[in-house]
Amino acid sequence: MAITVVGSVAFDSIETPAGRRERCLGGAATYFSLAASYFCDVRVIAVVGDDFGADEEAVFRARSIDMRGIEHAAGKSFFWEGSYLDNLNEAKTHATDLNVFGAFEPKIPDAYRDSEFLFLANIDPVLQRRVREAMPQARLVAGDTMNYWIKDHRNALLEVLKGLDVLLINDTETRMLAGNQNLVQAARAVLDMGPRMLVVKHGEYGATAFHRAASDGVGAKPFRAPALPLEEVVDPTGAGDSFAGGFFGYLASQRELTPAAFRRAMFYGSVMGSFTVERFGTERLQQLTREEIDNRFGLFRELTHLD
């Protein structure tokens, strides 16, 4: 099965206690695509500027990611600069230059139209909705968002949520979207907005899946995938998008979307997020093997296995 993902492809300058990197390849669609590419075919819809060259293309090509939907526009690519010096769990943003991304009009190649899986990464909900409507054949649609859209573009976001099967956001976003500090109550309120399943990402503590009905998703009760306590966290950038890529990529690789498949997908999401943070930017995600991924899946299983 193939996933089409729409989102940002960007350059990031990042500072963490482990060091600094200038203008490394980043963006939600980049992390998502690389993570998902270990499980299934991935097709990207994005826009980049003149600064996106052969080196960056080679990263996608090495993972056989379909780039026909990456539009090249005159100008510079989306640029983000941030640091995690005080707190590895929360980035301090120093610069966000939308550049060509500011006028992004997603264009869907005909070759993408048979994708059965669609991922709407964190972009303007108006664009998310447009892409979703242009791809009615997608049978499982998942998406992400962020505090900016929740606060200032709520109505557009609510329209997107109606068309989502799975929403993946973090604790703070869940509480903000629902206006409720209790995570379980907040999750129920978000599920009432449309998605059949809500995956709340807890950073270093893993993620929890909630769902509307017993027949959907992971089963009748919430399901928690742990995260491995990591010796070395070099750079948290992209961990959440890598979680989404591992989660959705694994689902797209499955013949049947059983509750057990959703639970394993949660673990694969945690696994891919845990690799990403071990190196700067996409460094670690570029050079994994499926064997390394499955070995870590085994570690995660052991981490909470009772007997």
DSSP 256: S
**Among all chains, which residue has been given the structure tokens 């997020």?**
273
How far is residue 33's CA from residue 112's CA, in Å, rounded to a whole number? 14
Q: Among residues 289, 143, 142, 297, which one has the least CA distance to residue 226?
A: 297
Q: Among residues 20, 24, 74, 22, which one has the least CA distance to residue 47?
A: 74
Question: Considering the rule CB under 8 A, would residue 210 count as an interface residue with a copy of itself?
Answer: yes
Nearer CB in complex with a copy of itself: 113/301:
301
Contacts (CB under 8 A) with a copy of itself, residues 147-186: 181-185
Cβ 33 vs Cβ 286: under 8 Å:
no
The mark string for 105-144 relative to a copy of itself (x by CB under 8 A, - otherwise) is ----------------------------------------
Q: What is the CA radius of gyration of the chain?
A: 18
CB of 269 to a copy of itself, least distance (A): 13
The mark string for 270-299 relative to a copy of itself (x by CB under 8 A, - otherwise) is -----------------------------x
The mark string for 242-261 relative to a copy of itself (x by CB under 8 A, - otherwise) is ------------------x-
**Six token digits for residue 24:** 């490394």
Contacts (CB under 8 A) with a copy of itself, residues 83-102: 88
CB of 147 to a copy of itself, least distance (A): 18
Q: Among residues 205, 202, 172, which one has the least CA distance to residue 190?
A: 172
How far is residue 303's CA from residue 75's CA, in Å, rounded to a whole number? 47
Q: By CB under 8 A, name the one of 32, 112, 267, 275 that touches a copy of itself.
A: 267
Question: Considering the rule CB under 8 A, would residue 222 count as an interface residue with a copy of itself?
Answer: yes
Burial 73-96 (b: 16+ CB within 10 A, else e): beebbbbbbbbbeeebeebeeeee
Question: Considering the rule CB under 8 A, would residue 189 count as an interface residue with a copy of itself?
Answer: no
CB of 56 to a copy of itself, least distance (A): 31
Which spans of this chain sit near a copy of itself (rule: CB under 8 A)? 17, 88, 181-185, 187, 202, 204-206, 208, 210, 221-226, 228-233, 260, 263-264, 267, 299, 301-307
